[in-house]
Amino acid sequence: MDNKQPNPGSNPGQPLTAVFTQPANSPQGADMSQPVGPAQAAQPMQPQAIASNPTTGQPMIMQAPAPAVPNNKKDLKYLIMTIAIITLSLFLVTFIGLFIWKQNEYDAAKTDVDGQIADAVVKAVDENTTKLENEFAEREKYPYKTFAGPADYGELTFEYPKTWSVYVAKDAAQRGDFEAYLNPVEVFEVSDETVNALRVAVKDEGFDEVAEEYQRELEGDQPALQLESVTIGKDNNITANRYTGKMPGTELNGIVVIFKIRDKTAVIQTDTVLFQKDYDKLLSSVRFNA
């Protein structure tokens, strides 16, 4: 037959061209009658999955999905955010705990300070009240009154608070001893156990006889009285014996001074040291006619 195709190599003057053909039902579905370019030939083939067309029953080529590539930057971001949230949570919990602890300490300290302030206020008020009462009591004593004993017994005189009352038990009108008692507001019943602010006596006895009674209380290992020689009087010119402790024949713990008035002996006694301030002031005002 004359329909033979010419031999590609029969014409050495022409370049050889390779022609590839592909059936119409090629998996690529392209017209393979056209030459394949170099770019197309260089492209790698993607993995394909083969399936049947439900209409024609012809095989179908399905391209497999590309595998997922992990996003390392996104995961790192989430990790950092998680760590930051945990750290912030721990910080907040610690801060709240410290705040509650400090608040409790502050409340306890404030309560203690408030209590101390309240106690200090009460103490200050009490002290101020006591001070004002004492000052008022001192002012009420002025002007002092003057006590005067019998004229023929030397007329012993001294000043005493005007708030004190005086009770003369023996006026020595018929000779004998002179006795008087003084006490704030009113004089209590006179006895060896009753406490009054002041006992005054001018005994019709010599000084040595009266001193002997107190001298006995100075003897022994544990004497009931302590003796000291003092000077008293408005002019500080009266020498006296001052005894402090348990008064002879009584249960009273006080102070007593004795001194001479002519041929007699004056005895001035307080039944308790609570009146010592008034007692000492009173002794500093003593006078008598020698």
Is 9 part of any domain?
A: no
Q: Pick out the chain residues at pLDDT < 70.
A: 1-71
Q: Are residues 269 and 186 in the same domain?
A: yes
Domain residue limits at 97: 73-141
Of the chain, the end-to-end C-alpha distance in Å amounts to 195
- The secondary structure element, H or E, covering residue 253 is strand 253-261
Q: pTM of the prediction?
A: 0.57
Q: What is the pLDDT of residue 238?
A: 97
Q: Produce one character per residue of 156-183: b if its CB has 16 or more CB atoms within 10 Å, e if not.
A: bebbbbeebeeeeeeebeeeebbbbbbb
Q: Are residues 272 and 216 in the same domain?
A: yes
Q: Are residues 186 and 279 in the same domain?
A: yes
- Among residues 201, 150, 206, the alpha carbon closest in space to that of 173 is found at 150
- Among residues 244, 238, 235, the alpha carbon closest in space to that of 265 is found at 238
Is 184 part of any domain?
A: yes
User: What total number of domains does the chain contain?
Assistant: 3
Q: Which residues contact 73 (CB under 8 A, 6 or more apart)?
A: none
Is 220 part of any domain?
A: yes
Residue 252 maps to which CATH number? 3.40.1000
Q: Are residues 131 and 184 in the same domain?
A: no
Q: Are residues 259 and 160 in the same domain?
A: yes
Q: Are residues 124 and 151 in the same domain?
A: no
Report the alpha-carbon distance of residue 64 to residue 51 in Å, rounded.
Answer: 12
Total residue count of the chain as it appears in this document: 290
Q: What is the pLDDT of residue 124?
A: 86
